Amino acid sequence: MRRGIAFLVLAAGLVALAVTTTRVRTDITDFFFRGDDADSAFLVGQLQSDELARRYLLGFAHPGLDATARLDFLADLRRRLAADPAVAQVGSGRPDLAQLRRLLRVYAPHHVHLYSLQPEQDFDALFDQAGLDARAAQVRAALLG
């Protein structure tokens, strides 16, 4: 009997200890970088100021709402959000094809050059470990300024 009570008291104490010492954080940057160096701090700052980090996805559902009422509500919400000066962009969840076409028109002619500015000279180095390391260092230096 004493052992049972001792076990329950110990178990309750361990649960209380676990609950009081557990920290729960929802900062997504905790999952990306570890370290206190300047590079990590810069990358974390970029992630936090990126458009995707500030994007909100909203979904609405109600069992008594028919499709027409839901679409009317969403259209009104889109109009109101688009009129708000604090909102940069309002989308419908589908990609804007015109925006994708403009992006492709800009980058498609130069897709090879995105990998190398001198592909004829850099081709062999791209498949060599030392060349890959050098290219990674160049890209990192360019991104970090």
Is the distance from CB of 125 to CB of 131 less than 8 angstroms? yes
Q: Are 74 and 60 in contact (CB under 8 A)?
A: yes
Give the pTM: 0.35
Taking only the tens of pLDDT, the chain with its 145 residues reads 788 899 999 999 999 999 899 888 777 656 666 666 777 777 767 666 666 556 666 777 777 888 888 888 888 988 998 899 888 778 776 777 888 888 788 777 666 555 666 767 777 777 778 877 877 777 777 667 5
